[in-house]
Amino acid sequence: MTSKLTYWGTIGVAAASVVAANPAYAAGTTAGASITNTATVDYQVGGVSQGQQSASNSFTVDRKINLLVEEVGTVTTNVVPGQTNAVTTFQLTNSSNEVLDFALAATQITGGTAAHGGTDSFNVNNVRIYRDNTSSGTVGSWDAGDTLVTFIDELAVDTPIRLFVVADIPTGLANNAVAGVQLRATAREGGTAGSQGAAITETTGANTAAKDTVFADTAGVNDGSRDASHSAADDYTVQTATLAVTKTSRVISDPFNNTTNPKLIPGAVVEYCIAVANSGSAAATTVLINDPVPGQLTFVGSSILLNGTVTSGTCNADGATGGSYVAPNVSGTIATVAAGDTRTLVFRATVN
Amino acid sequence: MKIKAFFIALATLAPTQAIASNQVALDNSVFVERVTTDASGKERVLLEEPKIVVPGDRLVFVLNYRNAGQQPADKFVITNPMPSAVRFAGAGDTAQLVSVDGGKAWGTLDTLTIMQPDGTRRPAQPSDVTHIRWAFQKPIPAGGTGKLMFRGVVK
């Protein structure tokens, strides 16, 4: 095993040195380059060396337009309703043999299956495309230092760059709602820094001896093969809390039966349990519960228990003392109701 | 695209009769190898003129030689440096020698090694080939012809 590792290590070093020696060929011979092959013959006649003969031919390397747009990562981007600057990440590679510009287009799908299996059910707002700034900020992740772009200028061959499709999520969305987005890049003529180059056309009809253009790209999610474009898809999935509130009550005691089979007569103590169940995929935080006490009841001071639990649908009437009462309202804040969890606010009142 | 051979006589001051009467013709052509699959799934290999050539294309270089002189040509050696933008991809069963160091040392590919930066040597790979050479053991008789070929890939 050691020798194998050494072998691969040395191959790697050799390959690196070859690249360093011929940088122009790292991504394929540059379009327009001429390749000349020359053969020579040396021979003797009657033991005497004769003049060397040679023969050559040459041809021009044509322009191969190829590009790749890929989603980075294999999971959806989880978002919450109302979130701004929700990010999906893509990568663009110029696999052509020439430096080119690339026009960019971020689009949304309407219905249908999104990139990670969900069904598209809403559209995001304010869709923008950013190019990762690899010299400052958080390299590889979207941050304020990244550049808002509509095209990529003079992209070197075989040097992947990271692109972010950034959008705002509408409010009022249901848990697990999905929005599919797609990013398409289209090769444009390079050569003029600072502005987007003209559209590229494939050489059709008769071949020429000069530099021709051949489209060699594969089909993407919203473009065909050999059209100088490529595209990939990603999606946003809403992860939010879905809260349901139930209120139950039970009689704790009355002045005559005390706690044995108490009845709802004046002076009886009633315990109310307000349960907040979260059936969504995200925790709900700072859940404020407010409950006006009916006029026929009198709130029992300091009887509020917060953040209690429920077992098999039955209120456990547990929790920590807290909350407040400002007539006629009982109120309290539960810090967190985790996804799938139920938390309670419990208080007592007497019947007038 | 096939370019007819052009000849360069390096020894212009022909001092002997032998040179004046002897002429070896060499013709060098290149084709692009295209593999197509027909309706029945059968692969067909076509050799096309190199009009559209892009990186990754497979090339077939063909060398035709002919002894156009009146006497046999002895110690007949054909040398072909690889174009820098073409990676050697074999020369079939023609008994060729190759060089991986710019034409200094020659041998069959499996006998050659490459010096690495750390001073050790590794076996040479087809992509290391810088020159190909065919050295004929027997004289080429007057009027004798032959064809040699090798493959390459556009880098």
Q: Which CATH number is correct for A243-351, 3.30.110.40, 2.60.40.2430, 3.90.25.10, 3.30.360.10?
A: 2.60.40.2430
Q: What is the CATH number for B44?
A: 2.60.40
Per the structure, how many domains does chain B have?
A: 1
Among the listed residues B23, B139, B66, the one whose alpha carbon sits nearest the alpha carbon of residue A51? B23
Kindly state the tokens that stand for A151.
């095209």
Alpha carbon of B36: minimum distance to chain A alpha carbons (Å)? 16
Collect all residues of chain A within an 8 Å Cβ-Cβ radius of residue B117. 13-14, 17
Res. B6 pLDDT band, cuts 50 70 90:
very low
pLDDT band at B22 (very low <50, low <70, confident <90, very high): low
User: Which ipTM value was assigned to this complex?
Assistant: 0.73
Chain A, chain B: beta-carbon pairs less than 8 Å apart = 165
pLDDT of residue B17: 38
- A294 prior amide bond cis, ω within 30: no
Q: Indicate the helix (H) or strand (E) that contains A9.
A: helix A2-21
pTM of the model: 0.71
A4 pLDDT tier (thresholds 50, 70, 90) = very low
User: Measured between alpha carbons, how far is B49 from B51 in angstroms, rounded to an integer?
Assistant: 6
- Nearest Cα of chain B lies from the Cα of A35 at a distance, in angstroms, of 6
Residues B41-94 pLDDT 10s: 888 888 888 878 888 889 999 999 998 888 888 888 999 999 989 999 888 777
Q: Does A5 touch chain B (CB under 8 A)?
A: no
B25: which chain A residues are within 8 Å (Cβ-Cβ)?
A: 53
* Mutation site, B12, B27, B28, interface A, largest A CB count within 10 A: B28
On the question of pLDDT at A162 being above 60, the answer is yes
Classify residue B88: in a domain, yes or no: yes
Residue B124 identity: A
Task: Note the pLDDT of residue A27.
Answer: 59
Indicate if the pLDDT at residue B105 is higher than 80: yes
User: Which residues of chain A lie closer than 8 angstroms to B69, CB-CB?
Assistant: 45
Q: Verify whether the Cβ–Cβ distance A51 to B9 is below 8 Å.
A: yes
Under an 8 A CB cutoff, do A41 and B155 touch?
Answer: no
> Which DSSP symbol is given to A66?
-
**3-class DSSP state for residue A272?**
strand
CATH 2.60.40.10 placement within chain A: 64-201+211-238
Q: What is the largest CA-CA distance in chain B?
A: 63
CA dihedral A164, A170, A174, A175 (to 10 degrees): 30
pLDDT 10s digits, A272-287 = 999 999 999 899 999 9
Domain A64-201+211-238, CATH = 2.60.40.10
* Whole-number pLDDT of residue B7: 40
B3–A58: do the CB atoms touch at under 8 Å? Answer: yes
